[in-house]
Amino acid sequence: MPKPKTPEIKTIMLPVDMRHKEQSADAIAMAAQLTKSFGADFYVMTAAHPLGDEITEFPEHHKPEFEKYIQEMASAHGVSITALFRHHQSAEKMILEAAEEIKADLIVMHTHDPKITDHLFGSHASHIALHASCSVMVVR
């Protein structure tokens, strides 16, 4: 029997919803550990709504907060992180497009306890796991 091929992971991407960034702590810790283990490049992305949260703001208003967060996480976990800031109508679409753009080998995502709508429509993580062209690790 041939020996199974060990997957080569060169690029890891982790999407973060900045409105719930605290909930991504375990996923970031996991992705940082994998980054160190594989010697991979680590990207963290977020996607802001193109119209902003209010009529008077633009998505770029959120970019400085995101970049500060990335610096804090990189320092806390001792890894280099590249920030990906996107605008979206669909978070899932932006995640999948960014993963293709950077040629991600692994997407690490946080998921929450399912709500009734997740049972009916699926979660962001389930959508990404079903449609990504690379492996997806879902961290509870």
The tokens describing 103, both together, are 């040629």
User: Which is more confident, 133 or 89?
Assistant: 133
* Model pTM score: 0.85
Nearest residue to 29 (alpha-carbon basis) of 9, 10, 46, 12: 12
Nearest residue to 107 (alpha-carbon basis) of 40, 50, 62: 40
Q: Tell me: the pLDDT tens digits for 16-62?
A: 988 888 888 999 999 999 999 999 999 999 987 655 455 545 567 77
Characterise 94 by phi-psi region: left (phi > 0), alpha (psi -120 to 50), beta (else): alpha
- Sketch out the chain's domains with CATH numbers: 11-139 (3.40.50.620)
Q: Tell me: the pLDDT tens digits for 49-104?
A: 655 455 545 567 778 999 999 999 999 999 999 999 987 778 889 999 999 999 99
